[in-house]
Amino acid sequence: MNTADIAATRAIRRRTTPTIAGALGTALLAGLLGACGEAPPLDACAWMKDPVDTAGRTVVLVDDSTSVRGPAGGRDYSHSIGALLTSVVERKDTVSVGSFSGDSAQITWLAKDRSTDWVRDNHNPINQKKRKHQAAGCLTDLVGKAERAVPTSGGSNVLAALTAGVSSLEGAPGSRSLLVLTDGLSTTGCADLRAAAFRDKSEIKAITRVCAARDETPSLAGVHLTLAGLGQPAPGQPAPTAAQRTWLSSLWRRLCGAGNKAAPGTSCTLAPTAIGTAERGRPRKKPPQDPAVHYAQDRPETYELPGAALFDTNSSAVRPQALPLLNDVAVSARTTPGSRVAVFGYVDPRGRPDNNHQLSQARADAVKDVLTGLGVRRVTAHGRGLPTGCAKQNHTAGGRMSAEDKLQCDRRVDIEITRK
């Protein structure tokens, strides 16, 4: 080989050697990546899993019953309670998040004992701010997972969930807080609201007494309880009116002891938080049937009006003085969505038997005409003649109705407003 050939061969070797080495390096790197997979993304919440003794503990429980989840879109607690979660992070509490449904007190835990202490081993103000933001975001994600959980059984027992939540806080050092995200519409247990009328305080007292007698009222001594989302079921579910939401709030204030003289460190707060909604795909596993609360929509609200306030004796003409009273009834009927109104006329036994039904029907028709003139629709009138008894016994101080009271009760007019 001459000198020129030797030089050419060396030049070729110099050009090809790096190329081969680069190809081998690339192949080796590809083999390593293929064997090990891509590097996992960093877990921004990993630091919260380290146990720490903090000044307080918080348990967050999410109602995942069908009334809150809805068929396709439910209540979005995770993005609606930012201020409440921020308060938890500000306190640097250790937090557990779980969901509940059904009649039992069993909690499905999404996370236990997550630290939100953004200051521990972190003295840099910038890093502290970053960790505080991370903690709030991680709690939001956990609540989101809890609200998307498919319930294990139908219905909900909110009092049982409160009892379980308090039990999980036993022995915790420092302050103890329980945040329960629910519409408050229990369908099992002593506070089953499926048959509730949602109308007066006497029913609230009766439910409270039953729960106390059955020992189902949780002991909240030393616990700061916050309820958020009361009266806000999922879209497409039966929904309460504003008055019924007020009744529901009063019930839960009484059940959790708000207003009573409580032990130190005990409180019950009903957060006025408006809970948004979120669309969700249908779950792979079909959720169980959930009994619904219908807010006594099939039960009439009855106004019993004494005959003396409406008519003169033996007359079916409505007295002018009765118009303000009937106007109040008309307003109630007009503001009750989809209402049907029935007027029932009665007479006392002083008239002729053959005239009783005719007079009672004429009085019912007269009241119907007034209500219709005041803008009420779907009104029917029924003459019932002599009544079978007084629905409301307005007793005198001696414990018995006077003869005049009995007559006025007999010749009354009942107006029933039924919501459908």
Q: What is the pLDDT of residue 308?
A: 80
* CATH architecture entry for 301-419: 2-Layer Sandwich (3.30)
**Beta strand pairing call for 224-228 and 379-383:** unpaired
Q: What is the pLDDT of residue 217?
A: 92
Q: What would the CATH number be for the domain defined by 48-279?
A: 3.40.50
Instruction: Convert the pLDDT of each residue in 322-371 to its tens digit.
Output: 898 899 889 888 877 678 899 999 887 776 666 778 889 999 999 999 99
Q: Identify which has the larger pLDDT, 6 or 41.
A: 41
Has residue 89 got a pLDDT over 60?
yes
Mean pLDDT of the chain: 82
pLDDT band at 393 (very low <50, low <70, confident <90, very high): very low
Q: Identify which has the larger pLDDT, 305 or 115.
A: 115
Domain residue extents for the chain:
1-31, 48-279, 301-419
Distance of CA 75 to the CA centre of its chain: 9
Instruction: Convert the pLDDT of each residue in 224-242 to its tens digit.
Output: 999 999 999 998 888 888 8
Q: Identify which has the larger pLDDT, 296 or 103.
A: 103
Q: Tokens 């929904």 map to which residue?
A: 239
Per residue, the 3-state secondary structure of the chain, as one string, reads: CCHHHHHHHHHHHHHHHHHHHHHHHHHHHHHHHHHHCCCCCCCCCHHHHCCCCCCEEEEEEEECCHHHHCCCEEEECCCCCHHHHHHHHHHCCEEEEEEECECCCCCEEEEEEEECCCCCCCCCHHHHHHHHHHHHHHHHHHHHHHHCCCCCCCCECHHHHHHHHHHHCCCCCCEEEEEEECCCCCCCCCCCCCCCCCCCHHHHHHHHHHHHHCCCCCCCCCCEEEEECCCCCCCCCCCCCHHHHHHHHHHHHHHCCCCCCCCCCCEEEEECCCCEEEECCCCCCCCCCCCCCCCCCCCCEEEEECHHHHCCCCCCCCCHHHHHHHHHHHHHHHCCCCEEEEEEECCCCCCCHHHHHHHHHHHHHHHHHHHHHCCCCCEEEEECCCCCCCCCCCCCCCCCCCHHHHHHHHCCEEEEEEEC
pLDDT band at 28 (very low <50, low <70, confident <90, very high): very low
Has residue 209 got a pLDDT over 60?
yes
Q: Which residues pair with 304 in a beta bridge?
A: 414
